[in-house]
Structure 1
Amino acid sequence: MSDPTHGWEAVAGRFAAIRSEVGADVVRRWAADLPAGGSVVDIGCGSGRPVALALAEAGLAVSGIDPSPTLLAAFRRALPDAPAACETAEASGYFGRRFDGAVAIGLLFLLPPATQALVIGRVAQALRPGGRFLFSAPAVACRWTDTLTGRESQSLGAAGYRVLLAEAGLRLVGSYEDSGGNHYFAAVG
């Protein structure tokens, strides 16, 4: 039986308890290029800490999508006025609207390559023209077992993501690294 939460519901309490502020600095730097008061969807938002909160503190209108009911309940407590949907990134309706930006931190590499491509395509459709997309994945193509969920993870690497982004009508424009050594890709539509 397939787990639509990709292992996150089973570890939701533990994840929420140990999630650090690592990555918030990258999100803040990336968000500086968005329009003041712009809209951002946090895909795989988890509890909202630290990513969605950093976006809200930057003055952006944040919406959250996560398939884990436990993590989404924590997101709603952290950001009670933010629209939130309990659904997967690949099946989301993205609130039936378009956004100035989208973030997917700690998500894509947990998905099989074909699903990663599908999600990138769905994100591209949910962005306004010129919209920005930030996601995390190792810079080199590799496979590993996620230490928290125990699920196989796969980064397609910079070359692989450049191809998928281009196929979706997005262009890779930069990258970041956070204080924990995690890599982020930045794209624009």
Structure 2
Amino acid sequence: MEADRSEGWDAVAGDFMAARSGIGAQLVRDWARASLPAGAQILDVGCGSGVPIAEGLIADGFGVWGVDASPRLLAAFRARFPQAPAACEAAQDGALFERRFDGVIAVGLLFLLTAEDQRRVIARLATALAPGGRLLFSAPLEACEWDDSLTGRRSLSLGHGAYAALLQEEGLCLGGTCCDEGGNTYFEAVKAGGLAPG
């Protein structure tokens, strides 16, 4: 039987879309407007249906490219944003469009993966960034584990120190962290080389 590359999310796609709130969307929009040039191309890894994050970024004039491993969520993204390039693939080993982006976001994704897969994805996100490009991803500040309420699968945060070290290994400098209105932590980083936008 083929492995579920969506880590259980395709099976609960309907429930997830129904339950997804707007929490975090304003923080991502504010980050993009402050950190990236107008009209910047942003790779949204783990884009889901595109609501509310891609929706807000597109409304702000950014070019959004969506990647999600769930066929059902990616189909909803494509239906809502037919003009946005989209690929149904896992972040661990997908092509990620084989190009460089001004910004890369991964909201609600990394901690769903094993520690090894998180390391692999951070390396791939770094490769997808243009020199001076910006990365934003969400994960708890502390190292911890819990069971996801929708999929029942184990989630894992490597913690601030481990994420900072992994980013540095991939040529990214951790600029800081911030929290959204729901108390979720976001890590901001910039890729070395070239002038950083913003």
Which TM-score band (shorter chain)? over 0.9
1:187 CA drift (Å): 0.7
Instruction: Provide Cα deviations, 1:43-77, integer angstroms capped at 9, x if missing partner.
Output: 00000001111111121100000011100011012
Instruction: Select between 173-182 and 98-107 the one with higher mean Cα deviation.
Output: 173-182
The corresponding residue for 1:144 is: 146
List runs of 5+ in structure 2 lacking aligned partners.
192-198
Q: How does 1:1-189 map to 2 (within 5 A)?
A: 2-32=3-33, 33-189=35-191
Tell me, yes or no, if the aligned pair for 1:45 and 1:64 is still in contact at 8 Å.
yes
AA at the equivalent of 2:162: G
List runs of 5+ in structure 1 lacking aligned partners.
none
Tell me, yes or no, if the aligned pair for 1:41 and 1:63 is still in contact at 8 Å.
yes
SS of equivalent residue, structure 2 residue 89: coil
Instruction: Provide Cα deviations, 1:24-45, integer angstroms capped at 9, x if missing partner.
Output: 0110111011011110010000
SS of equivalent residue, structure 1 residue 45: coil
TM-score by length of 1: 0.98
1:82 CA drift (Å): 0.2
Instruction: Write the distance in 2 (CA, Å) between the matches of 1:169 and 1:111.
Output: 22
Instruction: Write the distance in 2 (CA, Å) between the matches of 1:105 and 1:80.
Output: 21
Number of equivalences: 189
The corresponding residue for 2:196 is: none
Instruction: Provide Cα deviations, 1:62-118, integer angstroms capped at 9, x if missing partner.
Output: 000001110001101221100000000011111121100011011000100111010
- Percent identity between matched residues is 57
AA at the equivalent of 1:35: P
SS of equivalent residue, structure 1 residue 10: coil
Instruction: Write the distance in 2 (CA, Å) between the matches of 1:121 and 1:66.
Output: 17
| Deviating 4+ runs (over 4 angstroms) | none
The corresponding residue for 2:195 is: none
Tell me, yes or no, if the aligned pair for 1:31 and 1:58 is still in contact at 8 Å.
no
Kindly report the root-mean-square deviation, in angstroms, between the aligned alpha carbons of the 2 structures.
0.9
1:126 CA drift (Å): 0.6
Instruction: Provide Cα deviations, 1:106-135, integer angstroms capped at 9, x if missing partner.
Output: 100010011101000001001000111111
